[in-house]
């Protein structure tokens, strides 16, 4: 869970203001379909990572061992 939060914090406070803010507007204006597809894919990846983390935390707190 700490890893998911670390990725979130890095993207929110470092990646977005310093990297994405500069390049994404230009990319979205030139090829909006590709930019939207990339954002959509990234959103699904982070949603999946978050759900895996929540499921793992719930399973660990209830002593579910999947071995």
Q: Cβ-count burial of 10 within 10 angstroms (0-12 exposed, 13-18 middle, 19+ buried)?
A: exposed
Question: So what's the pLDDT on residue 60?
Answer: 85
Rounded to 5 degrees, what angle do the CA atoms 43, 44, 46 make?
A: 65
User: Structure pTM?
Assistant: 0.69
60: tokens are 């660990």
For residues 36-44, average pLDDT: 92
**What residue segments make up the domains of the chain, in order of their start?**
32-58
For 6-18, what is the mean pLDDT?
A: 86
Average pLDDT, the chain: 87
**pLDDT range class, residue 20, cuts 50, 70, 90:** confident
> Looking at the predicted structure, is the pLDDT value of residue 67 above 70?
no
Distance CA 44, CA 53 (A): 14
């Amino acid at each position: 869970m700490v890893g998911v939060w670390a990725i979130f914090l890095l993207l929110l406070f470092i990646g977005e203001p310093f990297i994405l803010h500069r390049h994404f507007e230009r990319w979205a204006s030139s090829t909006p379909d590709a930019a939207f597809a990339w954002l959509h894919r990234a959103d699904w990846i982070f949603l999946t990572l978050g759900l895996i983390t929540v499921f793992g935390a719930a399973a660990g707190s209830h002593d579910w061992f999947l071995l």
